[in-house]
Structure 1
């Protein structure tokens, strides 16, 4: 007789002999009661409350809702029963989960609850991108607005994106400033062509652009533009010198040329001025011309000094000089199109209404109501009459549009013909959700046209493909990866490389400099981008045998054979592929002077497996110093000492084995074999029983044995970022559907995004 059957017989005999003894969980069905009593009560019943949880007096009333949810989550993720106990067989696990969902939790898989999404304001990234796409203007939100709060690991969460009186005032001032810049009186000026930093590209390496041109190596970036008229032009380059925060002897020469002919040059060094300008006049024919910027390396930085580079802001090509043919700047044309520019005063009312209808509909992401449009037009005409210019009226009502809650806040409305308990959101709301998910900005003309025609939902997959191919999708990669994998933190953390690497201060700062930190962030983003756009399995984020390196980063990691100055795909040893051995992960999960197995283990549990431990209890002692009885201890030995504290043991048993697998990597991402001249042991075992000998085997465990957990966690993170709310228990059907779709399509990251967009929480709303 197996232990399960023996337990049931023993239980029946016990109840027969003790008929007057109440069974506290008698409200539960017998089959569920038996499963929980056999698997759970040894630790969570009969007077025991391991982890503060007691299950043998649970009932189905609402007071126990949170506890039932915890039971469901632990069973669902395989955390309970523990690996050293009797395992639930597949049928018992399914029956228990089905019962938990139907009864205490009330999940209806035939009609899932899409949840509640709080009306949420634009965060700083979204506001900046929205203004750029709406008005064609650059606006520094970091200088004008306070930092955004975060929730569930993201700054897209509606519940924390509140608007204080101070922020409301800042929004109003920003609206006035933006409209004043976008729509100026007498804005028609000499024709001008503007080339922005990304438009300047190195012909030999398309990834190198004018965003940052290093002093350290000779390089040329170029852009081609067609000029319609022959004449004399003025070429004006605006740029900054960036890189080292401290003074450095690093220098270079910047050469500006057109069609290979030098126009001007400038000797550059450490310079914190904004608005540096290089200009020249040149006669040009009416044809296509190539405008180029070349860096000639100068003096190298001295040991310990930082490196510099040129950050292009834009190049303006003005002319032909002296022409009577005038044109309007891009920002003016984005607000007042050519067809809406009035020829005389009598056209002001009609043209004003047309301009404001277009601007408000774009800014508010849906057609503007007639009564609102009439009021905006009235305000504009009054202001225009007072000032005497058409533009003054547009500025006045444009300020009202940009300061309106309809611009600042995003809400979803139900479709007018929707039925049922949980209606579909309308197509305008769907377009907005889609664009802010993948572009961090408002819908473009094609999305609006699809929404207006009511065809967006029917053509959703084609639109998603188009949007992912658009360069604006890099915003999603930067913002999602930057927060989910904390990649953007690597450039800000105050590390002590000289202590970690045991070198002099200047040498440590030279080795682990700002350029290297940027390379680390871009390495992680490049891997995510490649797996997404090449439709590779999402598990390659963990198990890939390649990464993206340039010479600087490869040299720092100790990987030979990489000579490119630009990040490129490189096959690497098994201990270097994937996100878990990239500099971003290794740095952001470390302390300023040493590694942190706890942070590394917690990161994996929280961000890759979706099974974070509970918060640490108060007054937990710090990790002991590295000596014990006069003996130097390795990190693993220190963690063993730390776990002797009973308050720490249960959580650390889950985190420490994972974190210690990475101990051969320092706090800044370099590789080592020993610590304190002692060999580093990296073997371990997960709390669910899987064993591994080091980081290579751990990555295989996570990517293969824990694939379902990783897929579920990825789905939850994507859904959280996309919806602007945390994932709740009633999202289980949606998460399961996303994971099922992924696994039908080889588990690709691309399919995960499509499935999130098709999911009930993304497509529907509570009425």
Structure 2
């Protein structure tokens, strides 16, 4: 995977205003910390940095710049024992690399990377089977889990390999799907659009069935040659003694294990007609996580899927559709990392039994940010509602958990409800799912919460900790309870820790009034909670309200981060330096439109990485 701004640990953009940085400074950085091992013909690992001494090298040696920046960002270079840049030096260098990439991308019109062939992930597969057959069963659970890639999502081509286990499962599931579909009336009428009888022979009936089914399954028109190949499979099954229906199902099983069903296909623009259908699929899998409906197929047939005016009209239609909940669910649980709460990362069941034993509350906690996200997009609200909002999604169980009494009494169903005056809620940061995933199972953590804000909200992740730094809990020397602030003060006595924690911890301290499961509290470890802090640039934060204001003051960082993540999700790959100009263009247009949600989605689907076909490269 080519990393785009994996080196975007740009905390100076958050907390400090760096001095002007230039190519001269970058040369000095490389000379001081890299060239001892990586110059000349004898460069270690044959990786030379001495030739990265011009701005033009960002174009001619883009891969080396990307690898270099990623290694510096991840503290992998320089190696142990060699001179090491301090935090400010490293971040200034990385900040300059990002800004240079951006200017080069905008000036040179860099081509997009090859588009990797990628299969449907398990969620897309399940949703496609559901919509293809109108069959309300989840067959995706039988497939292996998909790992994250690209901008942190499991629909990224970089990680969607086809394993032998996948091949085996696809064959098994195809049979199970068709067995179930043949017994379900709504599914049967989608399949058996013709039957042999007076005036229609078996071959003709099979042809009509396959002519209707194949374009929907392959999500594109198919020629008569393709139909005939599957009719031949039907006839072969009949010759083996199978009745008409089992023979048709045999042919359909072959359809469901075809690469044209299992994979997203990009034709690199060689066939303009097919490209229309590819865009319809790209659009529907972005916003619905499933195949196009008949309306989108009709738009593709009319050759309008790349018409900007048509796309502008399609965005609200698709976001208002109930299927957009699929997008909200998959995007939010990975962007905010709340998917981790479904595994072993959740709150300790002995310390927080209400979270573990109250299934209704547990479900509502996980779904709250999903429904919040969906509502903001559906109603075209400001994206800054994610940072602070006078409304939230509430249910009866959540209101009780929050000890909040809104103006309108909530029900068991999630609803957009105005919060009472002076509420400590509003925005994503006060939601229990977010607070739990950025805590330890047994206690809160200013470090985890601060790092979560820097990464998930501001898009400026802190570097990984130096090796051999002890965990916070390992440093307790007495049984006397200590607050998080006291533990961190002890931890930060280690100078190897202090510089990073000065940038991370203040963000997390502001959330200390929320416990692991998001309940408001005034005390911890037997004493009052101090939720005040000071950022590295001197900004004072007083509790959650001050934190939200600090984030709103840095809202452009948030919009840029959300843009990168959503663009990566939409195109199914990690971003590269060639995408930097696209990102900035989208950010500018979203900001000009007062951060309206539809504008972000609209500009993504109108962008070159989304609309323009790239050369296709096979997975290895």
TM-score by length of 1: 0.67
Tell me if the contact between 2:336 and 2:456 (Cα under 8 Å) persists in the aligned partners. Answer: yes
1:120 to 118, 121, 137: 118
Structure 1 CA distance, aligned partners of 2:500 and 2:95? 26
Aligned equivalent of 1:564: 410
State the Cα deviation string for residues 215-244 of structure 1 (Å, max 9, x = none). xxxxxxxxxxxxxxxxxxxxxxxxxxxxxx
State the Cα deviation string for residues 550-575 of structure 1 (Å, max 9, x = none). 23222222213564333331314352
Aligned equivalent of 1:288: none
Structure 1 CA distance, aligned partners of 2:508 and 2:96? 34
Structure 2 CA distance, aligned partners of 1:349 and 1:619? 71
Q: Does 1:495 align with 2:489?
A: no
Aligned equivalent of 1:27: none
Change over 3 Å in CA distance of 1:680–1:721 after alignment to 2: same
State the Cα deviation string for residues 523-569 of structure 1 (Å, max 9, x = none). 21222122112211101111112212223222222213564333331
Aligned equivalent of 2:181: 182
Change over 3 Å in CA distance of 1:100–1:656 after alignment to 2: same
Tell me if the contact between 1:82 and 1:688 (Cα under 8 Å) persists in the aligned partners. Answer: no
Q: Does 1:764 align with 2:612?
A: yes
Gaps of 5+ in 2: 1-18, 40-48, 75-84, 616-620
Aligned equivalent of 1:465: 316
State the Cα deviation string for residues 682-739 of structure 1 (Å, max 9, x = none). 2223345543222211111112x21111011001111121111112222111111111
Aligned equivalent of 1:240: none
Aligned equivalent of 1:634: 483
Q: CA deviation at 1:415?
A: 2.9
Tell me if the contact between 1:626 and 1:632 (Cα under 8 Å) persists in the aligned partners. Answer: no
Change over 3 Å in CA distance of 1:358–1:515 after alignment to 2: same
Q: Does 1:608 align with 2:457?
A: yes
Secondary structure (helix, strand or coil) at the match of 1:576 reads coil
State the Cα deviation string for residues 310-366 of structure 1 (Å, max 9, x = none). xxxxxxxxxxxxxxxxxx8111111122xx333248522222122112211111111
Structure 1 CA distance, aligned partners of 2:110 and 2:30? 33
Change over 3 Å in CA distance of 1:100–1:135 after alignment to 2: closer
1:408 to 236, 251, 262: 262
Change over 3 Å in CA distance of 1:178–1:96 after alignment to 2: closer
Aligned pairs, number: 560
Structure 2 CA distance, aligned partners of 1:73 and 1:680? 34
1:370 to 224, 235, 239: 224
Change over 3 Å in CA distance of 1:68–1:172 after alignment to 2: closer
Aligned equivalent of 1:325: none
Tell me if the contact between 2:148 and 2:154 (Cα under 8 Å) persists in the aligned partners. Answer: yes
Q: Higher mean Cα deviation, 610-619 or 656-665?
A: 610-619
Structure 1 CA distance, aligned partners of 2:580 and 2:266? 22
Tell me if the contact between 2:306 and 2:611 (Cα under 8 Å) persists in the aligned partners. Answer: no
Structure 2 CA distance, aligned partners of 1:144 and 1:588? 27
Aligned equivalent of 1:65: 65
Change over 3 Å in CA distance of 1:367–1:38 after alignment to 2: closer
Structure 2 CA distance, aligned partners of 1:510 and 1:405? 43
Change over 3 Å in CA distance of 1:623–1:702 after alignment to 2: same
Change over 3 Å in CA distance of 1:520–1:744 after alignment to 2: same
Secondary structure (helix, strand or coil) at the match of 1:150 reads coil
Q: Does 1:724 align with 2:572?
A: yes
Change over 3 Å in CA distance of 1:472–1:650 after alignment to 2: same
Tell me if the contact between 1:425 and 1:763 (Cα under 8 Å) persists in the aligned partners. Answer: no
1:395 to 249, 254, 260: 249
Tell me if the contact between 1:128 and 1:141 (Cα under 8 Å) persists in the aligned partners. Answer: yes
Secondary structure (helix, strand or coil) at the match of 2:531 reads coil
Secondary structure (helix, strand or coil) at the match of 1:547 reads strand
Change over 3 Å in CA distance of 1:413–1:46 after alignment to 2: closer
Gaps of 5+ in 1: 1-32, 75-80, 185-327, 419-423, 501-507
1:598 to 435, 447, 451: 447
Structure 2 CA distance, aligned partners of 1:366 and 1:417? 12
Aligned equivalent of 2:46: none
Q: CA deviation at 1:745?
A: 1.6
Q: CA deviation at 1:407?
A: 0.7
Tell me if the contact between 2:207 and 2:228 (Cα under 8 Å) persists in the aligned partners. Answer: yes
Tell me if the contact between 1:661 and 1:694 (Cα under 8 Å) persists in the aligned partners. Answer: yes
State the Cα deviation string for residues 227-276 of structure 1 (Å, max 9, x = none). xxxxxxxxxxxxxxxxxxxxxxxxxxxxxxxxxxxxxxxxxxxxxxxxxx
Tell me if the contact between 1:114 and 1:765 (Cα under 8 Å) persists in the aligned partners. Answer: no
1:141 to 96, 114, 139: 139
Change over 3 Å in CA distance of 1:329–1:387 after alignment to 2: farther
Over aligned residues, Cα RMSD in angstroms?
Answer: 3.5
Query: Superposed, which structure 2 residues align to 1:422-441 within 5 Å?
Result: 426-441=275-290
State the Cα deviation string for residues 624-660 of structure 1 (Å, max 9, x = none). 4685677643201211222233333343232211112
Structure 2 CA distance, aligned partners of 1:169 and 1:45? 50
Change over 3 Å in CA distance of 1:96–1:480 after alignment to 2: closer
Q: Does 1:683 align with 2:528?
A: no
Q: CA deviation at 1:47?
A: 4.7
Higher fraction of strand:
1
Aligned equivalent of 1:692: 541
Query: Superposed, which structure 2 residues align to 1:192-271 within 5 Å?
Result: none
Structure 2 CA distance, aligned partners of 1:570 and 1:626? 44
Structure 2 CA distance, aligned partners of 1:163 and 1:432? 20
State the Cα deviation string for residues 78-113 of structure 1 (Å, max 9, x = none). xxx99999x99xxxx9999775556xxx52546343
Q: Does 1:534 align with 2:379?
A: yes
Q: CA deviation at 1:156?
A: 0.8
Q: Which has the higher contact order (CA 8 A, sep 6+)?
A: 2
Change over 3 Å in CA distance of 1:41–1:372 after alignment to 2: closer
Structure 2 CA distance, aligned partners of 1:429 and 1:347? 34
Structure 2 CA distance, aligned partners of 1:125 and 1:640? 44
Q: CA deviation at 1:379?
A: 1.3
Q: CA deviation at 1:71?
A: 12
Tell me if the contact between 2:126 and 2:138 (Cα under 8 Å) persists in the aligned partners. Answer: yes
Structure 2 CA distance, aligned partners of 1:97 and 1:626? 37
Aligned equivalent of 1:523: 368
Q: Does 1:644 align with 2:493?
A: yes
Tell me if the contact between 2:269 and 2:613 (Cα under 8 Å) persists in the aligned partners. Answer: no
Structure 1 CA distance, aligned partners of 2:424 and 2:475? 26
Q: Higher mean Cα deviation, 365-374 or 466-475?
A: 365-374
State the Cα deviation string for residues 472-524 of structure 1 (Å, max 9, x = none). 11111111112212334445444225436xxxxxxx34786221111112221
Secondary structure (helix, strand or coil) at the match of 1:156 reads coil
Higher fraction of helix:
2
Change over 3 Å in CA distance of 1:72–1:701 after alignment to 2: farther
Secondary structure (helix, strand or coil) at the match of 1:580 reads coil
Tell me if the contact between 1:498 and 1:509 (Cα under 8 Å) persists in the aligned partners. Answer: no
Query: Superposed, which structure 2 residues align to 1:83-102 within 5 Å?
Result: 101=102
Structure 1 CA distance, aligned partners of 2:336 and 2:167? 31
